[in-house]
Amino acid sequence: MADTATSPGAGCLEKLKSYVKTQKGVILAAEILISFIVIICYAASMYGGYSAVAICEMIFSMIFFGIFMMELDKQILVLNWVWTDLIRAGFGAVIYLITSLICVIQGSGDGARIAGGVFGLLAGILFAYDTYTIYLQIKSNSQHTAASTDDRV
């Protein structure tokens, strides 16, 4: 997914350091962090039922972070990792935006729920940006120039 400049025998810490410097690494790390903040806000609210969304999205982001960091996407070729990541990010954006709007609208008197909703809206925007960057990557990979068939060249 992201090109890292580490050797094949590099340790986990070196791979982590080099992957976090990539654009995809920063986006996934930010998704994990903001999901953790949303979990804290929903846990502090009187109604913490929406924390399951944040927990699931944080776990999925951590799994994909680990897969891309360790470059397992190049070794496990059973799945199309780019499309799987697109589905993960798109689903996360939609679910975060829906649940966060519900929490902000119905959260009167519960400041932690409103704060979780606001951070959830930010997480939804971040997941939507991730979806957009993955879409651009798919689009750039699928575009190719056709070979010229003109014999007069």
> What's the CA dihedral at 38, 28, 99, 121 to 10 degrees?
80
pLDDT digits (tens, 9 = 90+) for 37-79: 999 999 999 987 889 999 999 999 999 999 999 999 999 999 9
C-alpha 115/C-alpha 100 separation (Å) is 9
pLDDT-derived band at 144, boundaries 50, 70, 90 = low
For residues 82-111, average pLDDT: 95
C-alpha 104/C-alpha 87 separation (Å) is 26
Kindly tell me if the per-residue pLDDT of 145 is higher than 90: no
Look at the alpha carbons of 131, 132, 133, 135 in this order and tell me if their dihedral is positive or negative.
positive
Residues 6+ apart with CB under 8 A from 143: none
C-alpha 62/C-alpha 28 separation (Å) is 8
Whether the full predicted model's pTM is greater than 0.75, yes or no, is yes
Name the E strands within the chain. none
